[in-house]
């Protein structure tokens, strides 16, 4: 399509949700919404899929767990077993009870950090990255709809009217 | 005295100024940094077209070079000898047998040297009855004392040359001899026959007809001349007999601390230990004394009596014995301790002929009564040997008195004094110091510029005994040799050589002794060649004359009744002062030894001070503070007897002390190591000369000064709180009954399968200790441990344990790996576990029984300390040792907290450099550092340390066995503490070797492990203490 | 849309719009700081400097400058460590656990609570560091490959568990905190005029855009991190307690320690949050966001945890008597009747008796009373750790080694110093960071805002 983008600003999240419903119903493509806080229930309307971050976290955690166990086996049993307080040092299993706390901690460590890093990368929120929100006020108290208009389907002014009717206070084309 | 800037060689290489060494020692860093000499060469700079770029190259290179250079550590590689002495291998210790006698202690010793440095002194175990105490094995440190006199000095302490000094002295001697004046030689007891002969020759040369009147006066810092006089009156011979405690089945001591300070205490301790084995014939020991001495604390029955009552007690005992043996009673006596004395008498009589009564009093008449008792019991010939008298004490107080009178009259022209410090140790009433001023020429030969030397015109440095040749004749028929193990560190000359020089026949003492032995002893030996005889004696360190002994029994012939009435005459007073010796400091000649100062007194556990001991009841009456502790302040008092007033001393409560008495330890009031201020107060002036020197004074009084003082004690709570898991003790009859459950029940805990012995309860599959070969362990017999502390100092010397000083000890930070816990019994009901019950349990009884428990790392097989170390700096060896890896330790102190025995020691400061310790830690002194054992790491700041069970000795022993491709024999390896123990209470060995002594001990009924119920499974076995007394009285 | 029941009191007072919220929270950052703030930070930073001085002296001279001895190897150092760790627990508990329980009232305090957690943990982590004899070798506690190859750490040691627990908890809390901060930094970024400030905050905001996708991920991450952090809250102090519980020292070797320590931690944590929040509320005029209701809720948590702690104390005593182990029973008799009885009884009064006052509504809802009690509780909790550590160590198995601990000026200096550092950091945070979670507040404005609730009730 043409590189034109419509930005419709709302001053209230409920208005925006209602508006979005209506517009999407009329086949308008809403790319995304900029808001100062998460608007619950907007995702399904504008068709945002559920994120899979949680699954990543689980995988990271699992890796951590295995790494920890492997480490214990290598450090304490295989590489150089030492007699410490008379505790058994022949097999990992016999000595395992002492390792449970660290295993747990390390699992959480990996899961937490892994997911956090993934999140930042996925969002591309990293140091020295420039903000891409259309108006500064989207982080304060306004809500902005990002629309990719399709003028073959609906006329420009029609579309704008359509949006206005949903209670948008400002419509700009960039 | 000005300190000499003398350079001390750090090894043969430096002594022999071997070029490679000098070079290496000057070259700490690589001195070749190319850029330097490039820059230095003027023309090179001008000619070379060095662009900026080149310069940067050089710069870069030089920086790199510099970095590399700085990585180079000081040269530490061992430099081989040019010509290696055959007996000397770097890294291998050499042992030399020698002899120790300082006028107080006699001991046959082995000196351990490394690369020519004596570093450790042990008992010469090849000789039966040889042992060492703390004073003997600590004496090695004083060799390296930089406060020793380093060159001849005059009155003002200014250096003079030997030549001048000799010239002056000889002329003075000649003058005196010419005008027929008086020349006096004043010494401690001379035990060396060769020295004695030198003195005699000396007298011969300057004295005689028409020449000077030369006399040799010997005295003892702690006088025994009362006893000598008594013996001469009883048997017509002025001597001290040899006592044989090992033959005694019943021992009564009246104020004699024969286990730690009285006469030849090292020897007696060993003999005593032999009789304290409950499995054999166990001796019964009664003690009558004023203060709680080490000996008293080991007695089966102890009675506190006034010092003035010693005589009465002796007389009453005599009468009691007479009653039982049908002898004749005598008048006098009348002490209030009838029951105890009766009890003692019965025991003595029951052991007739195998009993022994000794007395610490220096009063002739009292000693006569004691002799009478021994005679009545027929102990002469069995427990007391008159045929082989001891030569260790020969001093005569009457001679000393006579001399001081002469001096004060200004009759003495020349006074030569050595071995001893009369100005310091003699009673103030004697007026020795004032007399010195009236003496023409006063010469002192000493290792220190001591109190006596400071009064002398010339003080000539004598060699330390480790630098000197010597011989000794401790008891009749026994001769010992002392050999030097290092060449003199200072510009000193040993006494004998000085005398010989003045006699105009200069000669090394080596030659003289050799000659003396060749002429006098060699003939008795029956050896063919003198060389063989000499080498053999030198190797053994001892030679016993095998002449047939005359067996005629000298019978007792003194007027008992006269003596008895004299002995009973002494009146008691409201407050009596007694002067005693401490185990560590003895008569005080070692007072400057930081090891001994830091060795806690076996009984009071106080370090670095002497103090006034009092009964708790007396202190309460005066409102003094009885408690010891970091912030507990003791009250200061001055003690006065007649017109004598002491300096301030702190007052300390001493359980077991007779109310109405105060005790002060002798031998204090001297500078220690490099300390500027004096430690403690000198109590010698309080001793009194009436015929013989008396160490008891009546009519003492104390006055509170209002000042407070922090006493530094290593143990501040005194009872065991009824914890049978820590201390197990019983009485002989219970033990003889033989049911282990009565005196040493197996520690068991209830489990779901019923009562189970702790050693079988485990959470996990335990490590198998049998497969590993060795399982090193120690057994400690609480019965034979007398608490003397010899093991503690031996450990310090072997393991380079730092000295931390009074303030740190007070803060509970002494570093001793080996400590001896002392517990007083409490009068409280041990079953009462209420708050008040526990409170009263903390209070020691007024007349407590004492138990000593040597405590060091228990080398637990389930060691709590190992589990908690985050960096695995302390782990278990497969030979049962709990190992400490210093360079891995990060110092969390978690291990120390989790140690149930609290035996781990933390390096709170950098003891080898921190300013706080400069004055008394030998390792901060260039010379003092030479005593360090190169086999043991000197621990860094912030590192945990503890007993390693002398792992370096174990390794050495294993290597030895490996070389001989044999298994390690039981007894082949011994730890420092075990080999230092005079009573052989500590046994080191392999628990896996079922035939070893320690394995037998472990199997025995008395074996237990401390707080076994914690489940640490230690490798240290303790043997239950058995007291030889009736249960009824327990 | 979701409506909150009328019975629930509003969490945001007054008639606020989204804009107002932003304005209120960002005010301290936009405007000059008050005189009060300057006075506060001067004092706290001076104390901090003194503490740092003491630390340097300690490291330079050796652990000997502390009052420790051969018997008492830990005293104020580890007491302070456990104390700070405990305080550090409230933050994550509030933001994580309450998030899982969908407790809206958390939102007013979670930001500052988390900040407190971070700072408290910095203080806590300081002590295991400086209490080492050779801190320059502290890296030994990590299983790093080394020239000896086979030289590893000892995973049997509770102290090592600590290393992992603390570092995990700290870093996770930090991330949790910062991820929550990013959108708010963005808000500040877009609002500030001053170019330099703008630069700084845009850097901090990581270029946050706030589009729907980002917000979904944001909520997901918050939720999962909360899920991860929750077990951490409980595990960390359990592991800290195992330093003692797994030892053999009577008074330390106690199986109830983990739960007992955790509740104690929450107890002290909430107390400290109250102390700080009440100050913040006053200084930055946040009365509308941190309401009496919030305070009351937290006080209730304090009653609960305080009571748990009290029960734990009594259980200890009972068990020590019931076990019949003479060392154990003596250890506890010695606690309340021995030379350190004063420590024990001040612990009892501060921790067991004082929180019970919150049963009274008047006290529970009075700011002054709460403020005072919150401090009392933290004093009590410090004593609890002191009692556990010192009175257990100073008289254990062998009476021969019994001794006392006497703190030196360095002990005291370092402890005060950490408090100084802590408050300095917190004041800086309060000055330059959004002290309330903007985005979260906005998201609950409609449901819990006072005026909106009114509207709902009217029609």
Q: Is A141 an 8 Å CB contact of chain C?
A: yes
In this prediction, residue B382 has a pLDDT band, given cuts at 50, 70 and 90, of confident
Over residues C339-350, the mean pLDDT reads 91
Residue bearing tokens 């040359």: B161
Percent of chain B scoring above 70 in pLDDT: 92
Instruction: Specify the range with the lowest mean pLDDT, choosing from B31-45, B178-192, B673-687, C145-159.
Output: B31-45
CB B955 within 8 A of CB B105: no
Q: What region does B552 belong to: left with phi over 0, alpha with psi -120 to 50, or beta?
A: beta
Question: What is the rounded average pLDDT for all residues in chain B?
Answer: 86
CB B295 within 8 A of CB B261: no
Using the predicted structure, report yes or no on whether residue C230 has a pLDDT greater than 90.
Answer: no
Chain B, 784 to 843: residues with Cβ < 8 Å from chain C are 808, 811-814, 819, 821-823, 833, 835, 838-839
Over residues C188-196, the mean pLDDT reads 83
What pLDDT, in 10s, does the model give residues B775-819? Answer: 999 999 999 999 999 999 999 999 999 999 999 999 999 999 999
B61 phi, psi to nearest 5 deg: -65, -45
What pLDDT, in 10s, does the model give residues B562-603? Answer: 888 888 887 878 899 999 999 988 888 888 899 999 999 999
List of chain C residues whose C-beta atoms are within 8 Å of the C-beta of residue A99? 155
DSSP H helical segments within A30-153, as ranges?
42-46, 53-72, 92-95, 100-123
Using the predicted structure, report yes or no on whether residue C1 has a pLDDT greater than 50.
Answer: no
CB contact under 8 A, B875 and A94: no
What pLDDT, in 10s, does the model give residues B482-492? Answer: 888 888 888 88
In this prediction, residue B94 has a pLDDT band, given cuts at 50, 70 and 90, of confident
Q: Which of A84, A88, A94 sits opposite B867 (nearest CB)?
A: A84
Higher pLDDT among residues B140 and B381, named by residue: B140
| Confidence at residue B556, expressed as pLDDT on a 0 to 100 scale | 82
DSSP H helical segments within B41-161, as ranges?
42-47, 52-71, 134-142
Smallest CA–CA separation between A87 and chain B, in Å?
Answer: 7
Please tell me what DSSP assigns to residue B845.
Answer: P
Which of these, B826, B846, B825, lies nearest to B659 by C-alpha position?
B846
Q: Which of A84, A88, A94 sits opposite B876 (nearest CB)?
A: A84
Secondary structure (DSSP) of B171-190: HHHHHHHHTT-EEEEEEEPP
CB B697 within 8 A of CB B366: no
CB contact under 8 A, B893 and C138: no
What pLDDT, in 10s, does the model give residues B242-283? Answer: 898 988 889 999 989 999 988 888 889 989 988 998 888 899
Task: Give CA–CA dist B77/B23, Å, rounded.
Answer: 13
Q: Is A169 an 8 Å CB contact of chain C?
A: no
Handedness of CA B612, B617, B619, B625 (dihedral sign): positive
Which of these, B161, B121, B8, B147, lies nearest to B447 by C-alpha position?
B147
Question: What's this model's pTM, rounded to 2 decimal places?
Answer: 0.87
Q: Kindly provide the ipTM of the predicted complex, given to two decimals.
A: 0.88
Smallest CA–CA separation between C354 and chain A, in Å?
Answer: 34
Q: Is B659 an 8 Å CB contact of chain A?
A: no
List of chain C residues whose C-beta atoms are within 8 Å of the C-beta of residue A123? 208, 213-214, 217-218
Task: Give CA–CA dist C364/C358, Å, rounded.
Answer: 5
CB contact under 8 A, A86 and B863: yes
Over residues C72-76, the mean pLDDT reads 92
List of chain C residues whose C-beta atoms are within 8 Å of the C-beta of residue B721? 330, 399
Contacts 24+ apart (CB under 8 A), C277-282: C277/C109, C277/C112, C277/C113, C278/C367, C278/C370, C278/C371, C278/C374, C280/C112, C280/C430, C280/C435
| Confidence at residue B597, expressed as pLDDT on a 0 to 100 scale | 92
Smallest CA–CA separation between B875 and chain A, in Å?
Answer: 5
Over residues B112-116, the mean pLDDT reads 86
Task: Give CA–CA dist B420/B432, Å, rounded.
Answer: 13
Residue bearing tokens 């630098």: B467
Instruction: Give the chain B residue nearest A93 (alpha carbons).
Output: B764
| Confidence at residue B954, expressed as pLDDT on a 0 to 100 scale | 93
| Confidence at residue A59, expressed as pLDDT on a 0 to 100 scale | 93
In this prediction, residue C409 has a pLDDT band, given cuts at 50, 70 and 90, of very high
Smallest CA–CA separation between A11 and chain C, in Å?
Answer: 9
Q: Which residues contact B169 (CB under 8 A, 6 or more apart)?
A: B414, B441, B443, B458, B502
List of chain C residues whose C-beta atoms are within 8 Å of the C-beta of residue B893? 63, 68, 73-74, 131, 133
Tokens of B457: 């015109």
Chain C, 309 to 338: residues with Cβ < 8 Å from chain A are none
Which of these, B960, B871, A139, lies nearest to C187 by C-alpha position?
A139
List the chains bordering chain B where 3 or more Cβ pairs fall under 8 Å.
A, C
List of chain C residues whose C-beta atoms are within 8 Å of the C-beta of residue B941? 62, 133-134
Task: Give CA–CA dist C29/C19, Å, rounded.
Answer: 16
CB contact under 8 A, B894 and C406: no
List of chain A residues whose C-beta atoms are within 8 Å of the C-beta of residue B766? 86, 88
Higher pLDDT among residues B125 and B19, named by residue: B125
Residue bearing tokens 């040597």: B854
| Confidence at residue B298, expressed as pLDDT on a 0 to 100 scale | 92
Using the predicted structure, report yes or no on whether residue B772 has a pLDDT greater than 90.
Answer: no
Chain B, 595 to 654: residues with Cβ < 8 Å from chain C are 629-631
Using the predicted structure, report yes or no on whether residue B726 has a pLDDT greater than 60.
Answer: yes
Q: Is B766 an 8 Å CB contact of chain A?
A: yes
What are the residue ranges in chain A where pLDDT is below 50?
A: 1-2
CB contact under 8 A, A86 and B862: yes
What pLDDT, in 10s, does the model give residues B874-914? Answer: 999 988 899 999 988 999 999 999 999 999 999 999 998 88
CB contact under 8 A, A76 and C152: yes
Q: Is B1019 an 8 Å CB contact of chain A?
A: no
Helix (H) or strand (E) holding B829: none
List of chain A residues whose C-beta atoms are within 8 Å of the C-beta of residue B867? 84-85, 87
Instruction: Specify the range with the lowest mean pLDDT, choosing from B521-530, B989-998, C234-243.
Output: B521-530
Using the predicted structure, report yes or no on whether residue B57 has a pLDDT greater than 80.
Answer: no
What pLDDT, in 10s, does the model give residues B959-970? Answer: 989 999 998 888
Helix (H) or strand (E) holding C115: helix C110-130
Instruction: Give the chain B residue nearest C327 (alpha carbons).
Output: B723
Task: Give CA–CA dist C251/C168, Å, rounded.
Answer: 28
Smallest CA–CA separation between C402 and chain A, in Å?
Answer: 25
List of chain A residues whose C-beta atoms are within 8 Å of the C-beta of residue B875? 82-84
Query: What residues does B478 pair with on adjacent strands?
Result: B544
Query: What residues does B441 pair with on adjacent strands?
Result: B414
Q: Is A123 an 8 Å CB contact of chain C?
A: yes
List of chain C residues whose C-beta atoms are within 8 Å of the C-beta of residue B1016? 248
CB contact under 8 A, B909 and C62: yes
Q: Is A94 an 8 Å CB contact of chain C?
A: no
Q: Which of A85, A89, A95, A97 to mutate to test the interface with B (most CBs of B within 10 A)?
A: A85
In this prediction, residue C456 has a pLDDT band, given cuts at 50, 70 and 90, of low
Using the predicted structure, report yes or no on whether residue C216 has a pLDDT greater than 90.
Answer: no
Smallest CA–CA separation between C104 and chain B, in Å?
Answer: 42
Using the predicted structure, report yes or no on whether residue B1033 has a pLDDT greater than 50.
Answer: no
Q: Which of A84, A88, A94 sits opposite B875 (nearest CB)?
A: A84
Percent of chain C scoring above 90 in pLDDT: 29
In this prediction, residue B15 has a pLDDT band, given cuts at 50, 70 and 90, of low
| Confidence at residue B302, expressed as pLDDT on a 0 to 100 scale | 92
Which of these, B718, B716, B597, B717, lies nearest to B665 by C-alpha position?
B597
CB contact under 8 A, B877 and A86: no
Helix (H) or strand (E) holding B442: strand B441-446
Instruction: Specify the range with the lowest mean pLDDT, choosing from A157-171, B162-176, B400-414, B834-848.
Output: A157-171
Smallest CA–CA separation between A48 and chain C, in Å?
Answer: 7
How many angstroms separate the Cα of C279 from the Cα of each of A124, B367, B719, B783, C32? 37, 85, 53, 68, 18
In this prediction, residue B2 has a pLDDT band, given cuts at 50, 70 and 90, of very low
| Confidence at residue B1, expressed as pLDDT on a 0 to 100 scale | 44
Question: What is the rounded average pLDDT for all residues in chain C?
Answer: 85
Give every strand in the sheet of B700-709, ordered side by side.
B696-697, B576-580, B661-665, B612-614, B644-653, B634-641, B700-709
Task: Give CA–CA dist C35/B395, Å, rounded.
Answer: 87
What pLDDT, in 10s, does the model give residues B172-229? Answer: 888 888 888 888 899 999 999 999 999 988 888 888 777 778 889 998 888 898 899 8
Q: Is B900 an 8 Å CB contact of chain A?
A: no
A132 phi, psi to nearest 5 deg: -120, 15
Q: Is B861 an 8 Å CB contact of chain A?
A: yes
Task: Give CA–CA dist C418/C212, Å, rounded.
Answer: 42
| Confidence at residue C61, expressed as pLDDT on a 0 to 100 scale | 92
Smallest CA–CA separation between A108 and chain B, in Å?
Answer: 21
CB contact under 8 A, B871 and C140: yes
CB contact under 8 A, B896 and C330: no
Chain B, 834 to 893: residues with Cβ < 8 Å from chain C are 835, 838-839, 853, 855, 864, 867-872, 888-893
Task: Give CA–CA dist C22/C26, Å, rounded.
Answer: 6
DSSP H helical segments within B457-529, as ranges?
495-502, 509-520, 522-525
Tokens of A14: 């409920």
| Confidence at residue B547, expressed as pLDDT on a 0 to 100 scale | 66
Using the predicted structure, report yes or no on whether residue B706 has a pLDDT greater than 80.
Answer: yes
């Amino acid at each position: 399509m043409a590189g034109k983008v419509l930005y419709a600003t709302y001053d209230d999240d409920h208005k925006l949700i209602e508006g979005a419903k209506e517009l999407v119903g009329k086949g308008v493509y809403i790319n995304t919404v900029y808001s100062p806080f998460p608007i619950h229930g907007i995702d399904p309307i504008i068709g945002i899929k559920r994120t899979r971050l949680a699954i990543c976290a689980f995988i990271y955690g699992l890796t951590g767990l295995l790494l920890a166990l492997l480490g214990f086996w290598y450090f304490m049993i295989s590489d150089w077993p030492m007699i410490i307080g008379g505790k058994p040092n022949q097999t990992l299993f016999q000595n395992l009870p002492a390792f449970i706390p660290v295993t747990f901690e390390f699992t959480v460590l990996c899961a937490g950090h892994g997911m956090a890093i993934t999140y930042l990368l996925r969002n591309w929120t990293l140091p020295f990255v420039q903000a891409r929100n259309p108006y500064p006020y989207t982080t304060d108290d306004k809500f902005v709809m990002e629309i990719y208009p399709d003028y073959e389907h609906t006329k420009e002014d029609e579309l704008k009217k359509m949006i206005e009717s949903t209670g948008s206070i400002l419509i700009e084309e960039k | 005295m000005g300190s000499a800037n003398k350079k001390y060689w750090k090894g043969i290489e430096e002594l022999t100024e071997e070029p490679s060494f000098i070079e290496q020692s000057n070259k700490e860093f690589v001195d070749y940094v190319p850029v330097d000499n490039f820059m230095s060469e003027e023309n090179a700079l001008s000619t070379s077209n060095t662009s900026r770029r080149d310069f940067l190259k050089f710069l870069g290179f030089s920086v790199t070079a510099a970095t590399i250079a700085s990585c180079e550590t000081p040269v530490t590689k061992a430099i081989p000898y040019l010509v290696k002495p055959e007996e000397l291998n770097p890294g291998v210790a050499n042992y030399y047998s020698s002899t120790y006698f300082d006028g107080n202690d006699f001991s046959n010793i082995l000196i351990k040297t490394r690369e020519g440095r004596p570093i450790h002194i042990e008992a010469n175990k090849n000789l039966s009855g040889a042992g060492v105490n703390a004073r003997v094995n600590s004496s090695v440190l004083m060799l390296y004392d930089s406060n020793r006199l380093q060159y001849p000095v005059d009155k003002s302490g200014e250096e003079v040359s030997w030549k001048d000094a000799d010239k002056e002295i000889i002329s003075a001697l000649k003058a005196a001899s010419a005008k027929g004046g008086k020349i006096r030689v004043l010494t401690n007891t001379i035990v060396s026959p060769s020295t004695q002969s030198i003195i005699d020759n000396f007298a011969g040369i300057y004295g005689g007809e028409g020449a000077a009147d030369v006399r040799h006066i010997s005295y003892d810092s702690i006088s025994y001349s009362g006893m000598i006089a008594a013996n001469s009156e009883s048997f017509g011979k002025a001597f001290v007999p040899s006592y044989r405690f090992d033959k005694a089945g019943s021992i009564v001591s009246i104020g004699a601390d024969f286990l730690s300070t009285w006469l030849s205490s090292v020897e007696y301790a060993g003999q005593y230990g032999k009789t304290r084995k409950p499995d054999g014939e166990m001796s019964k020991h009664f003690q009558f004394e004023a203060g709680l001495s080490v000996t008293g604390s080991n007695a089966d029955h102890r009675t506190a009596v006034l010092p003035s009552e010693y005589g009465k007690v002796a007389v009453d005992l005599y009468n009691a014995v007479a009653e039982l043996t049908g002898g004749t009673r005598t008048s006098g006596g009348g002490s209030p301790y009838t029951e105890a004395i009766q009890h003692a008498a019965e025991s003595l009589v029951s052991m007739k002929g195998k009993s022994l009564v000794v007395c610490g009093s220096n009063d002739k008449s009292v000693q006569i009564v004691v002799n009478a008792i021994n005679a009545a019991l027929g102990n002469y010939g069995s427990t007391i040997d008159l045929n082989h008298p001891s030569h260790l004490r020969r001093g005569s107080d009457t001679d000393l008195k006579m001399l001081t009178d002469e001096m004060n009259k200004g009759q003495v022209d020349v006074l030569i004094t050595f071995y001893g410090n009369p100005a310091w140790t003699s009673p103030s009433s004697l007026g020795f110091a004032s007399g010195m001023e009236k003496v023409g020429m006063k010469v002192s030969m000493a290792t220190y510029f001591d109190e006596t030397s400071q009064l002398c015109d010339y003080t000539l440095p004598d060699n330390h005994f480790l630098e000197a040749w010597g011989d000794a004749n401790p008891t009749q028929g026994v001769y010992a040799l002392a050999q030097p193990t290092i060449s003199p560190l200072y510009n000193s000359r040993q006494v004998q050589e000085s005398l010989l020089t003045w006699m105009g026949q200069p000669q090394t003492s080596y030659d003289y002794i050799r000659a003396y032995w060749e002429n006098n002893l060699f003939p008795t030996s029956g050896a063919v060649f003198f060389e063989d005889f000499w080498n053999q004696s030198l190797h053994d360190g001892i030679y016993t004359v095998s002449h047939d002994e005359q067996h005629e029994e000298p019978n007792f012939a003194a007027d008992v009744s006269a003596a008895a009435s004299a002995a009973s005459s002494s009146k008691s007073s409201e407050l009596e002062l007694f002067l005693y010796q401490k185990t560590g400091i003895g008569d005080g000649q070692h007072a400057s030894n930081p090891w001994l100062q830091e060795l806690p007194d076996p009984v009071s556990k106080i370090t670095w001070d002497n103090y006034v001991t009092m009964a708790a009841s007396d202190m309460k009456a005066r409102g003094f503070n009885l408690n010891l502790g970091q912030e507990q302040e003791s009250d200061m008092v001055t003690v006065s007897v007649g017109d004598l007033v002491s300096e301030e001393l702190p007052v300390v409560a001493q359980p077991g002390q007779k109310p109405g008495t105060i005790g002060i330890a002798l031998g204090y009031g001297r500078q220690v190591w490099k300390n500027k201020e004096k430690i403690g107060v000198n109590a010698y002036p309080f001793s009194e000369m009436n015929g013989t020197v008396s160490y008891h004074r009546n009519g003492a009084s104390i006055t509170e000064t209002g000042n407070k003082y922090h006493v530094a004690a290593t143990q501040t709570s005194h009872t065991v709180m009824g914890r049978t898991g820590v201390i197990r003790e019983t009485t002989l009859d219970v033990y003889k009954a033989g049911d282990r459950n009565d005196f040493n029940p197996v520690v068991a805990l209830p489990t779901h399968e019923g009562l189970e012995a702790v050693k079988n309860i485990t959470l996990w599959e335990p490590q198998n200790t049998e497969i590993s070969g060795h399982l090193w362990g120690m057994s400690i017999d609480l019965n034979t441990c007398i608490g003397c502390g010899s093991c503690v100092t031996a450990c310090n010397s072997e393991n380079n344990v730092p000295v931390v000083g009074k303030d740190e000890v007070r803060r509970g930070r002494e570093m001793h790996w080996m400590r001896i816990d002392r517990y007083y019994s409490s009068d409280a009901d041990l079953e009462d576990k209420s708050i008040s019950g526990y409170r009263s349990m903390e209070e020691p009884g007024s007349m407590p029984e004492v138990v000593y428990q040597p405590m060091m790392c228990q080398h637990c097989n389930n060691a709590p300390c190992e589990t908690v170390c985050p960096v695995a700096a302390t782990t278990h060896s497969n030979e049962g040792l709990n190992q400490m890896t210093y360079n891995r330790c990060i110092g969390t102190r978690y291990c120390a907290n989790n140690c149930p025995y609290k035996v781990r020691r933390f390096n709170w400061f950098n003891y080898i450099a921190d300013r706080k310790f400069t004055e008394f830690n030998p390792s901060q002194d260039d010379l003092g550092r030479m005593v360090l054992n190169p086999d043991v790491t000197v621990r860094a700041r912030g590192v945990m340390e503890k007993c390693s069970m002398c792992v370096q000795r174990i390794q050495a022993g294993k290597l030895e066995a490996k070389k001989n491709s044999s298994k390690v024999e039981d007894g082949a390896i011994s730890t420092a503490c075990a080999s230092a123990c005079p009573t052989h209470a500590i046994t080191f060995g392999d628990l896996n070797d079922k035939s070893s002594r320690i394995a037998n001990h472990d199997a025995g009924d008395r074996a237990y492990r401390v707080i076994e119920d914690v489940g640490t499974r230690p490798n240290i076995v303790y043997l239950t203490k058995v007291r030889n007394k009736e249960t009824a009285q327990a | 849309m979701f409506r909150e029941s009328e019975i629930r009191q509003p969490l945001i007072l007054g008639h606020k719009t989204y804009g107002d919220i932003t304005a209120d929270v960002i005010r301290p950052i936009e405007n000059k700081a008050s005189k009060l703030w300057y006075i506060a930070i001067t004092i706290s930073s001076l104390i901090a400097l003194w503490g740092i001085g003491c630390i340097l002296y300690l490291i330079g001279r050796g652990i000997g400058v502390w009052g420790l001895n051969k018997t008492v190897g830990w005293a104020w150092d580890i007491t302070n460590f456990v104390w700070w760790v405990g305080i550090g627990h409230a933050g994550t508990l509030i933001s994580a656990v309450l998030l899982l329980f969908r407790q809206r009232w958390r939102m007013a305090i979670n930001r500052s609570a988390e900040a407190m957690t971070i700072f408290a943990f910095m203080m806590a982590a300081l002590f295991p560091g400086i209490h080492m004899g050779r801190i320059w070798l502290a890296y030994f506690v990590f299983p790093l490959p080394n020239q000896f190859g086979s030289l590893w750490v000892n995973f049997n040691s509770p102290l090592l568990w600590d290393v992992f627990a603390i570092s995990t908890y700290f870093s996770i809390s930090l991330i949790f905190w910062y991820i929550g901060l990013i959108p708010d930094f963005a808000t500040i970024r877009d609002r500030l005029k001053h170019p330099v400030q703008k630069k700084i905050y845009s850097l901090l905001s990581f270029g946050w855009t706030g589009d729907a996708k980002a917000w979904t991920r944001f909520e997901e991450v918050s939720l999962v991190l909360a899920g991860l952090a929750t077990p951490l809250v409980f595990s960390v102090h359990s592991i800290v307690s195992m330093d003692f519980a797994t030892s053999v020292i009577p008074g330390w070797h106690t199986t109830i320690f983990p739960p007992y320590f955790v509740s104690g931690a929450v107890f002290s944590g909430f107390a400290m949050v109250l102390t700080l929040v009440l100050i913040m509320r006053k200084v930055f005029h946040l009365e509308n966001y941190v309401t009496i209701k919030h305070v009351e809720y937290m006080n209730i948590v304090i009653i609960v945890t305080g009571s748990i702690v009290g029960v734990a104390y009594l259980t200890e005593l009972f068990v020590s008597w019931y076990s019949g182990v003479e060392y154990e029973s003596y250890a506890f008799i010695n606690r309340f009747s021995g030379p350190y009885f004063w420590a024990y009884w001040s612990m009892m009064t501060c921790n067991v008796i004082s929180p019970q006052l919150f049963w009274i509504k008047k006290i529970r809802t009075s700011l002054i009373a709460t403020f005072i009690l919150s401090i009392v509780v933290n004093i009590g909790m410090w004593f609890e750790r002191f009692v556990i550590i010192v009175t257990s160590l100073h008289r254990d198995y062998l009476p021969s080694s019994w001794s006392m601990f006497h703190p030196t000026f360095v002990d005291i200096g370092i402890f005060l110093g950490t408090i100084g550092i802590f408050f300095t950091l917190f004041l800086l945070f309060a000055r330059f960071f959004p002290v309330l979670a903007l985005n979260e507040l906005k998201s609950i404005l409609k449901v819990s805002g006072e005026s909106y609730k009114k509207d709902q009730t009217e029609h």
